[in-house]
Amino acid sequence: MRMAPVLVFMFGIWSVAAAQQADPCVIPRPASVEMCEGTFTLDPHTTILVDPGHPELNRIGRWLADFLRYATGYRLTVDSSPAPDAAGTTILLRLADTETGLGEEGYRLTVAANRVTVCGRRPAGVFYGAQTFRQLLPPEIEGSQPVTGVAWTVPCVRIEDRPRFRWRGMHLDVARHFHDKEFVKRYIDYIAAYKINVFHLYLTDDQGWRIEIKKYPRLTEIGAWRKGTGKHCFDGRGDQERYGGYFTQDGIREIVDYARERFITVVPGISMPGHSQAALAAYPELSSTGGPFEVWTGWGISKEVMDPGKEEVFRFVEGVLDEVTELFPGRYIHCGGDEVPRDRWKESPYAQERMKAEGLKSEDELQSYFTKRVERFLTSKGRLLVGWDEIIAGGLAPNAVVMSWRGTNGGITAARAGHDVVMVPNRETYFNFMQHAERKGPGATGYLPLMKVYHLEPTRGMTAEEAKHVLGSQACLWSEYLPTSADVEYLLFPRMFAMAEVVWSPANLREDEDFLRRVPVGLARLKRAGVNYYDGNEYFPK
Ligand code: ACM
């Protein structure tokens, strides 16, 4: 009976208490769980002990102490050697380089009556083990105020766990609607709790440029602002209100540091040569026609794109990427490449001249020429270009990573050619699609229920050899119809539970019934934390 758990989830009949009596309700499901006799109880005298000489472990210990303080009111000590008179319970965080079986991100969590031990080969594993420990505590632990009358008890258990994929991503579009630094940090906390390790921060599009670039100040003076909020998109009303915002370089550094402390790499998304009308409004000379342009107030695909016939386009892109690569230390830089109309290039003397000079037979090859030059530039800086699957047309740049969004064919083709790929087939990973089948009207561009995400298999249709090139997957949150943070949260949960499990848990442990047993407990945690989520009822954003 596959429907039963779905209904149970919808109507909340399956109580949190009943769900917790079985295996612990950890999301994503750990690789191995062995329940033991007894319980561990957190009390005001519990000490967090960390291996000495590891600042990162110390930081994880302090993060855990801070987190536990809100709901319990306990100010737990973080120490690297037990106090001589220590008699209470301990949470030990330790590194063991010899534990090769745990890999770079795995952990072993052992809960005994007097001691919790979180062991990882690397700090990331210890952090993930601490996140699992968090989920073993009652949902009340997620509250921001001290609660009384709750026993902070955890079942004795031995968990061994490591992720299936290296790229466990979540994306957020801050170009269409801007979401500020405070919310972005909260978003990072949400995704870190479920062991996501890549945050694809999508920063530029036709409707807004959201990152300060010192060499090109007009990008944010002009490109970050438009005439119209887009907030009334749900009922089709337009407005002329000035709308916008951007991250300063200090703000970006703060976000990147915040993410790094939670073992998340931020992959910046800078769209080129299409989805770039906001940049063209600031620097119209990068276009074929010379403009003028406005930052776009419509949604869709703008015909105004950068012209690869012009050398100054490459000077601009390289100038931007010089600063972007300074700010984002990760290996991957996402340079878009999707949905680039050819209309302007067909009529542009610059583009046509470039095609003649370079022997390019089509506009597809012209885009490939553009991507290859950008990719070569990034490679020279020791970075890798990621692009949407449109970058395959006309010839793939040698080191490019393909993000396959128009289904899986692009990813399979690229993997077959030996390229690394991230599988984001939109029908299974676009969280801007509605969770509710009945939702109609603007914004309802698709329907993506929870279990469709859960049934995503990133290596589907690939041979074992091709599957080796699958770095992982991610869910995307495009923000045309998401003016508020509550809208983002509503579309994120509970589907992110499913995505986290797709990319972390062993494929053979993905079971509908077991997942649906754990979902209500995850939602109870969000409720305690004051986070919005889809609960089976239609939600009309304000
Ligand atoms: C995309 O959704 N255009 C990548």
What residues are labeled active site? 205, 275, 339
Residue 445 has pLDDT above 90, yes or no: no
Question: Is the beta carbon of 63 within 6 A of some atom in ligand 1?
Answer: no
Question: Is the beta carbon of 407 within 6 A of some atom in ligand 1?
Answer: no
Quote the DSSP letter at residue 35.
E
Kindly state the average pLDDT of the residues 75-101: 88
Q: Which atom of ligand 1 is nearest to 388's Cα?
A: 4
* Residue 278 region by backbone torsions, left for phi larger than 0, else alpha for psi between -120 and 50, else beta: alpha
pLDDT band, very low/low/confident/very high, at 23 (cuts 50, 70, 90)? confident
Three-state DSSP class for residue 49:
strand
**Residue-level pLDDT at 317:** 99
Residue located nearest, by CA, to atom 3 of ligand 1: 338
Element (H, E) at 491: helix 485-492
Q: How many angstroms separate the alpha carbon of residue 224 from the centre of ligand 1?
A: 20
In CATH, which superfamily holds the domain spanning 23-161? Chitobiase/beta-hexosaminidase domain 2-like (3.30.379.10)
**Residue-level pLDDT at 6:** 44
Q: How many angstroms separate the alpha carbon of residue 390 from the centre of ligand 1?
A: 10
Question: Is the beta carbon of 339 within 6 A of some atom in ligand 1?
Answer: yes
pLDDT band, very low/low/confident/very high, at 542 (cuts 50, 70, 90)? very low
The residues pairing with 386 across neighbouring beta strands, listed in sequence order, are 334, 401
Question: Is the beta carbon of 405 within 6 A of some atom in ligand 1?
Answer: yes
Kindly tell me the number of DSSP H helices and DSSP E strands found in the chain.
Answer: 19, 19
Query: pLDDT of 257-296, one tens digit each?
Result: 999 999 999 999 999 999 999 999 999 999 999 999 999 9
**Residue-level pLDDT at 21:** 53
What percent of the chain has pLDDT above 90? 87
**Residue-level pLDDT at 235:** 59
- CA of 382: how far to CAs of 213, 215, 325, 331, in Å? 21, 22, 10, 7
Query: What's the Rg (C-alpha) of the chain?
Result: 24
Query: pLDDT of 152-186, one tens digit each?
Result: 999 999 999 999 999 999 999 999 999 999 999 99
Q: Which atom of ligand 1 is nearest to 426's Cα?
A: 2
One CATH from 3.40.50.720, 3.40.1000.10, 3.30.1370.160, 3.20.20.80 for 167-507:
3.20.20.80
What are 165's two structure tokens?
């994929």
Q: How many angstroms separate the alpha carbon of residue 338 from the centre of ligand 1?
A: 6
Kindly state the average pLDDT of the residues 235-263: 93
Cα separation, 295 vs 208, in Å, equals: 7
Residue 441 has pLDDT above 60, yes or no: no
Please choose from 267, 339, 389 the residue to mutate so as to test ligand 1's pocket, defined by most ligand atoms within 8 A of CB.
339
- CA of 390: how far to CAs of 272, 287, 342, 532, in Å? 12, 20, 13, 35
Q: How many angstroms separate the alpha carbon of residue 167 from the centre of ligand 1?
A: 18
Block residue for tokens 């200090």? 250
**Residue-level pLDDT at 522:** 97
Q: How many angstroms separate the alpha carbon of residue 89 from the centre of ligand 1?
A: 51
Strand residue runs (E) in 42-95: 47-50, 77-79, 90-95
> Do 7 and 136 contact (CB within 8 A), yes or no?
no
**Residue-level pLDDT at 238:** 78
Cα separation, 334 vs 315, in Å, equals: 18
Kindly state the average pLDDT of the residues 343-357: 98
pLDDT band, very low/low/confident/very high, at 239 (cuts 50, 70, 90)? confident
Going from N- to C-terminal start, the domains of the chain cover 23-161, 167-507
Cα separation, 501 vs 503, in Å, equals: 5
Question: Is the beta carbon of 283 within 6 A of some atom in ligand 1?
Answer: no
Kindly state the average pLDDT of the residues 439-454: 79
Question: Is the beta carbon of 445 within 6 A of some atom in ligand 1?
Answer: no
Q: Tell me which of 62 and 16 has the higher pLDDT.
A: 62
Q: Which atom of ligand 1 is nearest to 339's Cα?
A: 3
**Residue-level pLDDT at 374:** 98
Mean pLDDT estimate for the chain: 93
Q: Which atom of ligand 1 is nearest to 405's Cα?
A: 4
DSSP string covering 200-265: EEE-EETTEE-B--TT-THHHHTTTEEE---TTGGGT-----EEE--B-HHHHHHHHHHHHTTT-E
Nearest to 306 by CA among 348, 269, 264: 348
Residue 236 has pLDDT above 90, yes or no: no
**Residue-level pLDDT at 15:** 53
**Residue-level pLDDT at 87:** 73
Residue 9 has pLDDT above 50, yes or no: no
**Residue-level pLDDT at 14:** 46
> Do 426 and 416 contact (CB within 8 A), yes or no?
no
Kindly state the average pLDDT of the residues 341-364: 98
Lowest mean pLDDT among 8-17, 63-72, 110-119, 442-451: 8-17
Residue 319 has pLDDT above 60, yes or no: yes
The residues pairing with 474 across neighbouring beta strands, listed in sequence order, are 169
For β-strands 153-161 and 32-41, DSSP reports them as antiparallel
> Do 381 and 329 contact (CB within 8 A), yes or no?
no
Q: Which atom of ligand 1 is nearest to 430's Cα?
A: 2
Residue 139 preceded by cis peptide, ω within 30: no
Lowest mean pLDDT among 117-131, 320-334, 376-390, 525-539: 525-539
Residue located nearest, by CA, to atom 2 of ligand 1: 405
Question: Is the beta carbon of 202 within 6 A of some atom in ligand 1?
Answer: no
Question: Is the beta carbon of 388 within 6 A of some atom in ligand 1?
Answer: yes
